[in-house]
Amino acid sequence: MKKTDILVEALNIIKKEQKRNINIFKSSLFERQQKEVLEEYGYIKPIIKGWYYISNPSDAPNDTTSWYMNFWQFLSLYLKDKHKKNYVLGVNESLILHSKKTVIPTNLSVALKEGGSQILDLPFGIKVTVFQDPNFKKTDIEENENGLQIYSIEKTIAKLPPDAYVRNYDDVVILFSLLRDVGKLTQILIEEKRMGNSSGRIRSEERRVGK
């Protein structure tokens, strides 16, 4: 079969996936020749072994646009494939996603219910640290629009480190504006034994946003 025919077949597979708004692909989706031709012509680029993201053949070699546009989808599909729903993104990642911040952090953390530790070295210097958390609980975890498991608003607020109120202040303000259940937040603070450490900052932000 001609290379152009192989490319057409492979692009038809991609087209079907894109109808489902999927721009991240496992290598098993393609036959070996299809994958090789797609990569050769610049239609896909590697993320880690066995995973690819869609790209534009006209992109410059270091163009980050396609990667950053599809980063959260990759993370969602990868974690679901490896760990189902038995994980949660870190508090800083939960804060970013709740506040709809568009900047992708260069270092992310993922806690697992079970499983070993792993560090994912991803394109353009992004690193994801995956680790087993002996205190992992499936309570106060929710799925966001990208299919990622993140802490609830109340749990995120309760677990915020002190420097977040300075480093990510605008995101924190947005998070507090989304808070609806102050009683639940108080309950989590008690369970997390953080009433003394966090309550002063939290009460101050609640008053600032009129809670």
Predicted confidence band at 120 (pLDDT cuts at 50, 70, 90)? very high
The stretch 29-39 carries a mean pLDDT of 97
pLDDT at residue 65, rounded to an integer: 95
pLDDT at residue 61, rounded to an integer: 83
The count of C-alpha atoms lying within 13 angstroms of the C-alpha of 154, restricted to the half-sphere facing its C-beta, is: 17
Q: Tell whether the model's pLDDT for residue 38 goes beyond 90.
A: yes
pLDDT at residue 127, rounded to an integer: 98
Answer whether 0.85 is exceeded by the pTM: yes
pLDDT at residue 152, rounded to an integer: 97
Q: Which tens digits make up the pLDDT trace of 99-113?
A: 999 889 999 999 999
Report the percentage of the chain scoring pLDDT > 70: 91
Task: Give the gyration radius of the chain's Cα atoms.
Answer: 20
Nearest 5°: phi and psi at 106?
-85, -20
Q: Which tens digits make up the pLDDT trace of 190-207?
A: 887 665 555 555 555 555
Predicted confidence band at 115 (pLDDT cuts at 50, 70, 90)? confident
Tokens of 100: 């709809």
pLDDT at residue 211, rounded to an integer: 52
| Mean model confidence pLDDT for the chain | 91
The stretch 28-40 carries a mean pLDDT of 97
